Amino acid sequence: MLRAGMWVMVACMSLVAMSGCANKGRPAPVEDRTYALSVPANKPVLGSENAGKAGFYIVKPGDTLIRIGMDHGQSWRDLVRWNGLENPNLIETGQVLRVLPPGQDIVVVRPVLPSAPMTSASAASANVSNAPAAPAKVPLSPAPASTPPATPAGDVAEDALVFKWPTRGNLIAGFDEVKNKGLDIAGKAGDPVLAAADGRVVYAGSGLRGYGNLIILKHNNTYLTAYAHNQTLLVKEDQAIKQGQKIAEMGNSDADQVKLHFEIRRQGKPVDPAKYLPAN
């Protein structure tokens, strides 16, 4: 019995070996795990009903609320509130977010005032000269002006905003719309970084890749300034700041040398700070 069992075992091993040789070079069978997907393919995109509307933005791969807010001149905290987000760190590609305050996403077109009607005298003159008569100057009732949005506490009216240099030092890189969205100013570690104008801190942290320890100030509904690569941050979010106030110390966080990267953004779009700063 023992000898017969051994012969059976040897035969089985031979069959397994032959099977392995026969399958050599063929790919292993792939298990279909499609059933394990937890997100259905037809899941509706959050906010898709607002796609394409003024005042809304479609989230792209790699976006964060901090960057979206900076690119649209808004605080990331406002984006959280306007969009009812439970987790600010969880946004999805394709999601549609409100990036303008409710009520400010409608483009208001000023009506063209109608020309005053020609008088009978001017009409007669037009018939004689066969040329259009100049419209008579008659008083027009002014159109009711829409009430501008109130300037939030700590913000500066646009016509009163004057920027000052945020630090002393040599300019080592100028503005470039593609390569450098601001000015790079050299200095020593610990040099003071000053607020370029009165404003309010809408971000203070290191959550935006490429900027290191970053401060963003909002000055009004139009302008933001950004101060990057700091060694130390001296202010907190939602804090009111005065022009010239020390807000950070210069450093080299997420940079190849000690420097301040300074940006001015108009409605979220980077503009050349040199055009807004006094001669240095």
pTM of the model: 0.66
Which tens digit of pLDDT belongs to each residue from 155-169? 666 667 999 999 999
Q: Smallest Cα–Cα separation from 250: which of 165, 174, 166?
A: 166
The predicted-structure confidence for 231-257, as pLDDT tens digits, reads as follows 999 999 999 999 999 999 999 999 999
Cα Dmax for the chain: 134
Residue 242 to residue 156: CA distance in whole angstroms? 10
Distances in whole angstroms, Cα of residue 240 to Cα of each of 225, 226, 229: 14, 15, 21
* Residue 112, pLDDT score: 41
- Alpha-carbon span 55 to 95, nearest angstrom: 14
Rounded to whole angstroms, the Cα distance separating 7 from 127 reads 124
- pLDDT band at 48, cuts 50/70/90? confident
Q: How many whole angstroms separate alpha carbon 152 and alpha carbon 200?
A: 10
Query: Sorting pLDDT into bands at 50, 70 and 90, what band is 66?
Result: very high
* Token reading at 190: 């610990």
What domains are defined for the chain?
48-98 (3.10.350.10), 158-275 (2.70.70.10)
